[in-house]
Chains A and B, each alone.
Chain A
Amino acid sequence: MGTNTIFSINGPVITVRDTTDFSMLEMVYVGNKRLIGEVISTNTDFTTIQVYEETEGLGPGEPVVPSGGPMSVLLGPGILRNIFDGIERPLQDIAALSGSFIPQGASVPTLDEEKPWQITVTVKVGDEVSGGMIYATCPETPVIEHRLMVPPSLSGKVTFVAPDGAYRLNDCIVRIADGSGKEHELTLCQKWPIKVPRPVRERKPITMPLITGQRIIDTLFPIAKGGAAAIPGGFGTGKTMTQHQLAKWCDADLIIYIGCGERGNEMTQVLEEFGGLIDPKTGNKLTDRTVLIANTSNMPVAAREASIYTGITLAEYYRDMGYHVAIMADSTSRWAEALREISGRLEEMPAEEGFPAYLPSRLSEFYERAGYMVNLGGSEGSVTIIGAVSPQGADFSEPVTQNTKRFVRTFWALDKSLAYARHYPSINWNTSYSEYVDDLREWYDEHETAAFLECRRRISNLLQQESRLMEIVKLIGADVLPDDQKLIMEIAKVIRVGFLQQNAYHKDDTYVPLDKQLKMMQVILYLNDKCKEIVAREIPISMIVNTGLFEKVIKIKYDVPNDNLELFREYFTEIDETLSKIN
């Protein structure tokens, strides 16, 4: 094998001439600085490589060295609490090595190779093991136990186990002899190619919701564990804010937060905020269950494409241990644009809006990696994907939004006019949907009483009626409506302001447990029923409005603390008493 050298350079794309040494999607080292790249096409004349770093200063004639395998990530303890770039290089270590700006060709080990981990080996010599079985555990953070698993392709008999104790990442702790008698050493880490989904035993139907503590999501448009959701919205509609809220409060065991082509300051904010926040379930820091992948918009574009795959591979690895993992991908549009950019450099024939024709298949490959699975090791785990979409010109008919819609079952459409009125979360209740409601019916009935979904149905019905009435009001004003319709408008306002709107900066309102959500709905619907009786007696609605009851109910979200739901009883009595005075 002769030395391969760079022939041409165009932005992040380079070519090598007259070689057959490279295989498709192989990882390569490019140039004297050993920049990381990936083979994206190869024939006997030209091999084309996309480089995951800046190519400035690279010259033709510099060497290109194959690595022998596809683009992979290293999986092992030390992933949690870390912040990586798009190709799993720890940014903290890069900063320690080269200061505040990221240089070309920064080479640092992915995971700390020196740190000792307290290992408990769970297999004995003579045990038969197969891919996905757990052979050792160690506490990675106070909340997450890291379970070391036999690589999926391997099975055989254990021939050696090390005693429990402290080991470093590359120490051998278990040896396995496979069917042909060949011995394999198992350390604390393994590699996995990012573009290949990790195998599972079977996919299970979806039955459990991912509880987020956000009223409009949990109640109206729920997402399931193992499901996929999209949050499209123009700029300034609160995509990132919604993602942050979900990352903070949803009841997944682990969060992978991918900042894909977004702002640097936002990643800093996540780092700072999560470091200071306490997880309500475990009492530990939120960072203990979080991995951040930051490929900000000014970092190399090819690594932006990889960051999404890196994130999902990490998620699958933890799912295999039996955890429920949620991925926040902010934003998938930047990823699609990275595909477009590279495709343009390759002079491929563009399809819609200049995006490559394979955009839908790439999107579906990504979203299909979500799911509720029975793992090879027998445990159950899930990967939930929540992807933000940034449609160009806030136009939902553009290709990324439209194609994403086909592969997700929950769609939270963010609305510009709600955001302008500072109604957050600005999820539009008329255009959003969730197909999971029926799948989750059983769970809600079992855990929350059957009343929950009935309340949900009535609330969403009232909102529908309001939106129909709004069309009339827009034309002729609210004054001409009959009183029963005015009541619908008033109640819908209570729902919009008092229920759907949620204040992320209020200590109680930022996360609301399901019980309180149910009680709030019940109070609102009770108020609706009682007022309806009064209006039916032809008493003008203004008399009810003047009692201030509506305002009082709107303020429930602030006035009733999450840990004192007893207070709700007073609201029912007050509604009764106040309304009985009206005659």
Chain B
Amino acid sequence: MSVQFVGLKEINGSIVVLDDIPDLKFEEMVELKLDNGTTRTGRVVQVEGRRAAIQVFEGTRDLGLVGTVTKFTGHPMQIPLSKEILGRVLNGSGRPIDGLGDVYPEKYVDVNGKPMNPVRRVYPRNYINTGISAIDCLMTLIRGQKLPIFSGSGMQHNKLAVQIVRQAKISEQEGSNFCVVFAAMGVKNDVAEYFRASFAQSGVMDNVVMLLNLSNDPIIERILTPKCALSAAEYLAFEHNMHVLVVMTDMTSYAEALREFSSSKGEIPGRGGFPGYLYSDLASIYERAGIIEGSTGSVTQIPILTMPNDDITHPVPDLTGYITEGQIVLGRPLDQMGVYPPISILPSLSRLMKDGIGEGYTREDHSALANQLFASYAKVQEVRSLASVIGEEELSPIDKKYMAFGSYFEDHFIAQGFNDDRSIEQTLNLGWEILAMLPREELDRVDKEILDKYLPIKAEA
């Protein structure tokens, strides 16, 4: 259907209103042609009889009430896809911006996707070896998982994401089947450039699709960016059987864009001014990770979000944590002590880890070791807060051992170089070595047999 309408009734922020339109469809796409010949795209967001409210992706600047020609397409937002998108750079709504011409589409896909049927999901079990000790041992990443990085401004989340992408690829035997979808939402130009350069440097650029919506790009397009990225990811994973790692940064900017858009529609705000449907909206993004029956591909998500004021109870990290299968939390104190990656162990977690480790996956002692490290490191925190009151000198001998264990653990286990790619064996052995700093009686989370087999005998009594 290509009836065109001249003129607009109302313009308000990024929303334009048209009256007297026959045969409207909710959420259908529209094209707006300006006086000066350029076109913009928009989407119907509210329908009332023959009146339509349309959000314009590129913003409403220069739009006039007269002269604008609107065309209703009759179909929802779609993205053209083919395997050729690998290696391309697209804008937030899926149009190429690298000057290499249009993508010749094999298929058009509705960006909103459809919910996966839980009975057709395959429970994720294969672990991804990232070569980073803290992650592999304590919050193992599983293929098909959604594991966000909670960070703060100024911390090295981007570097960590790049290291994960690079090293996860190397350990992958079916290397050619691996690809990355990178979605930038409201990030600075240099950040996007950093990712591009890093991908190019490690030679994976041909297997990367980049969708860029930079901080000065329109916010409406930002709302579409993750949806387009995930449509591309699902297409590559489930129709071309590839293992897709989706890196999305920064989810906080996305949520803020959603808030801006919601308030311009005059909706009733919920917590922190965010719309009441923020949970459902975030879930419609995160839940698109997974593996389905009948395909050998997978979609694994690593969303990155910066916690405003390092506050983990802020609505965005809070709701994210309730949807995703765990989280990797970066800690300011570790970062300031120069520990890279500054992963704050205790609040971090991988929910799918328990079924993807142990005998047959990593090693039989993995889960016991991880539990013991968590428990002992939690004890270190208690001892440290005691030491800050009574002074380190006054601590009991056993507490002093905990203090030593704590700092050694941070400097040698959590900390590792940007190019340091540790195998799972190395990581686990290192864990036992460090645990051996504590008296054996303190290791109450581990079975005797495992202790006998793996705990190194200390030289001194």
Contacts and interface: CB of A to CB of B under 8 A. Distances in A.
Interface in A86-132: 91-92, 94-95, 99-103
A140 to B, nearest CB: 20
A261 B279 contact: yes
Contacts of A422: 371, 374-375, 378, 445
Interface in A295-334: 296-299, 301, 334
B155 to A, nearest CB: 20
Nearest to B279: A337
Nearest to B285: A298
B26 A57 contact: yes
A83 B120 CA distance: 12
A102 B117 contact: yes
B438 to A, nearest CB: 14
A548 B441 contact: yes
B276 A354 contact: yes
Contacts of A423: 375
Interface in B84-135: 110, 112-124
A280 interface: no
A57 B23 CA distance: 11
B268 A294 contact: no
B39 interface: no
Contacts of B28: 57
B441 A83 contact: no
B321 A100 contact: no
Nearest to A17: B49
A91 B396 contact: no
Instruction: Give the bracket for the number of chain B residues in contact with chain A.
Output: 35 or more
A392 B352 contact: no
Contacts of A61: 23
B271 A392 contact: yes
Contacts of A199: none
Interface residues of A, number: 78
B112 A56 contact: yes
B269 A395 contact: no
A366 to B, nearest CB: 20
A236 B119 contact: no
A350 interface: yes
B378 A421 contact: yes
Contacts of A272: 123
Interface stretch (A208-216, A458-466, A471-479): A471-479
A551 interface: yes
B267 interface: yes
A313 to B, nearest CB: 21
Contact of B26 (A7, A58, A340, A476): A58
A476 B117 contact: no
Contacts of B270: 340, 344, 353-354
B240 interface: no
A353 B112 CA distance: 29
A101 B115 contact: yes
Contacts of A393: 313-315, 318
A20 interface: no
Interface stretch (B161-169, B202-210, B290-298): B290-298
A60 B124 contact: no
A341 interface: yes
A423 B371 CA distance: 9
Contacts of B436: none
**Residue among A57, A61, A294, A505 having the largest count of chain B Cβ atoms under 10 Å:** A57
Given A56-B112, A100-B292, A505-B354, A297 B280 contact: yes
A344 B145 CA distance: 32
A298 B115 contact: yes
B447 interface: yes
B120 A420 contact: no
Interface stretch (B59-67, B191-199, B330-338, B385-393): B385-393
A268 interface: yes
Interface stretch (A8-16, A69-77, A143-151): A8-16
B416 interface: no
A347 interface: yes
A235 B318 CA distance: 8
Given A263-B287, A350-B268, A477-B396, A101 B49 contact: no
Given A236-B326, A265-B290, A298-B288, A102 B124 contact: no
B276 A57 contact: no
A299 B119 CA distance: 14
Contacts of A287: none
B441 A263 contact: no
Nearest to B389: A475
Interface string B339-351: 0000000110101
Contacts of A57: 25-28, 76
B277 A341 contact: yes
B153 to A, nearest CB: 20
B354 A265 contact: no
B236 to A, nearest CB: 15
Interface string A243-269: 000000000000000010101110111
A525 interface: no
Interface in B309-328: 313-315, 318-319, 321-323, 325-327
Nearest to A493: B444
Given A347-B268, A421-B374, A268 B347 contact: no
Interface in B137-165: 144-145
Contacts of A7: 48-49
Interface string B388-428: 01100011100100000000000000000000000000000
A193 B276 CA distance: 28
Given A59-B26, A264-B287, A354-B268, A99 B124 contact: no
A390 interface: yes
B374 A420 contact: yes
A505 B113 CA distance: 36
Nearest to A473: B386
B27 A56 contact: yes
Given A60-B49, A551-B441, A551-B444, A264 B375 contact: no
Given A92-B119, A294-B118, A505-B367, A340 B276 contact: yes
B323 A297 contact: yes
A55 interface: yes
A267 B374 contact: no
Contacts of B276: 337, 340-341, 343-344, 354
B120 A95 contact: yes
B223 to A, nearest CB: 14
Given A101-B114, A298-B284, A474-B389, A268 B123 contact: yes
29 contacts: A7-B48, A8-B47, A8-B48, A56-B27, A57-B25, A91-B117, A95-B120, A99-B117, A99-B120, A102-B115, A102-B117, A263-B323, A264-B287, A265-B325, A268-B118, A271-B119, A296-B118, A298-B280, A299-B115, A301-B277, A344-B275, A353-B271, A354-B269, A394-B313, A475-B389, A478-B396, A479-B394, A548-B441, A551-B441
Given A60-B49, A102-B114, A344-B268, 18 more contacts: A8-B46, A8-B47, A55-B26, A60-B48, A94-B117, A235-B318, A259-B118, A265-B121, A267-B118, A268-B122, A301-B277, A353-B270, A417-B378, A421-B346, A473-B386, A478-B396, A479-B394, A554-B444
Interface of B: 23-28, 46-50, 76, 110, 112-124, 144-145, 238, 267-271, 275-277, 279-280, 283-284, 286-288, 290, 292-294, 313-315, 318-319, 321-323, 325-327, 346-347, 349, 351-352, 354-355, 367, 371, 374-375, 378-379, 385-386, 389-390, 394-396, 399, 441, 444-445, 447-448
